[in-house]
Amino acid sequence: RATEAHARMARGFTAWMADGIIEPVASPDTLATVFRALVVGLEMQNRIHPGAMDIDTVTAALASVLNVEVAGVEVPSTHRRTTAPI
C-alpha cells in the first residue's frame, strides 16, 4: 500500500511539473519521499505534543518542500518560490 501511495504521489508531482504548477526542484520520486516523510513526522509530532503547531506552520512546512508560496502564509525557505496555488 505504501508503494502504491508513493507512486501516485510521484505521478502527481510529475504532472504538476509538466503543467508548470511546481518547479522541478528535485525528481518527482524524491519529492514524494520528502513530502511523505514530512507528513509522517508532523503527524508524529502532533501525537507527542498536540497543538504544538498551528495550521499555518504546517502549511508553510509542506509548501517549502514544493517550493511554492501559499497566500497569507509565510514560508520559511531560502529557495525561490513560485506563486502557484495549492
Query: Which pLDDT value is given to residue 14?
Result: 95
Cα–Cα distance for residue pair 28/4, rounded to 1 Å:
14
Instruction: For 8-22, write each residue's pLDDT tens digit.
Output: 999 999 999 999 888
Cα–Cα distance for residue pair 5/63, rounded to 1 Å:
19
Cα–Cα distance for residue pair 37/1, rounded to 1 Å:
16
Q: Is 52 within 8 Å of 39 (Cβ atoms)?
A: no
First CA to last CA across the chain, in angstroms? Answer: 25
Cα 7 to its chain centre, rounded Å, is 15
Task: Give the CA angle between residues 66, 48, 6 to the nearest 5°.
Answer: 35
Global pTM reads 0.69
Instruction: For 49-77, write each residue's pLDDT tens digit.
Output: 988 888 888 888 888 878 777 766 554 54
Task: Please say if the pLDDT value at position 7 is more than 90.
Answer: yes
Confidence of residue 84 (pLDDT cuts 50, 70, 90): very low
